[in-house]
């Protein structure tokens, strides 16, 4: 996974990985979600990839435009990520 630049320094997103038809996003609390064309829609996934690459706006997009069920939870670490 690539570290999310987090230009606002307020996002709970810490890392991401883009696939051909998906994006996987890791959050500060250790949870990892997979968003696919099928679960979130083609246009939404492509927009998430753009926000991930520029390091800004990804979490805002997720909270404003996607329903809770759009991402598939694939992992939850027991420990949150500590950023220095």
Q: Report the share of the chain in percent with pLDDT over 70.
A: 89
Confidence of residue 62 (pLDDT cuts 50, 70, 90): very high
Question: Do the Cβ atoms of 19 and 34 come closer than 8 Å?
Answer: no
Q: Is the pLDDT of residue 84 over 50?
A: no
Cβ contact 12:27 at 8 Å = yes
pLDDT of residue 79 exceeding 60, the answer is: no
Average pLDDT taken over every residue of the chain = 88
CA dist., res. 6 & res. 66, Å (int) = 20
Q: Is residue 4 within a helix (H) or strand (E), and if so which, with residue range? A: none
| Residues ≥6 apart with Cβ < 8 Å to 16 | 1, 2, 4, 23, 24, 25, 26, 52, 58
Quote the pTM value: 0.84
Task: Delimit the domains of the chain by residue range.
Answer: 2-76
Under 8 Å between Cβ of 52 and 4: yes
Provide mean pLDDT across the span 11-18.
96
């Amino acid at each position: 996974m690539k570290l999310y630049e987090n230009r606002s320094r307020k996002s709970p997103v810490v890392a991401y990985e883009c696939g051909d038809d998906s994006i996987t996003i890791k959050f500060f609390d250790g949870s990892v979600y997979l968003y696919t064309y099928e679960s979130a829609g083609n246009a939404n996934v492509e927009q998430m990839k753009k926000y991930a690459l520029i390091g800004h706006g990804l979490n805002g997009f997720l909270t404003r435009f996607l329903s809770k069920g759009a991402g598939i939870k694939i992992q939850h670490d027991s420990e949150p990520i500590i950023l220095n």
